[in-house]
Amino acid sequence: MARISAQERRESVVRAAIAEFALKGYYGTSTEAIAKRVGVTQPYLFRLFPGKKAIFVAALVRSMEDTRLAFERATEGMAGSEQALGALAGAYARLISARPETLLMQMQGYAVVEAAEAEGDEQTGELVRAGWMRLWDTVHLSLGADVRETTSFFACGMLGNTLTAIGLPSDCREAGA
* Predicted TM-score of the model (pTM): 0.88
* C-alpha–C-alpha distance, residues 80 and 92, integer Å: 18
pLDDT at 97: 86
Task: Look over the chain and give the mean of its residue pLDDT values, rounded to a whole number.
Answer: 91
24: pLDDT strictly greater than 80: yes
pLDDT at 119: 93
pLDDT at 51: 96
Nearest to 125 by CA among 115, 135, 134: 115
* C-alpha–C-alpha distance, residues 176 and 35, integer Å: 41
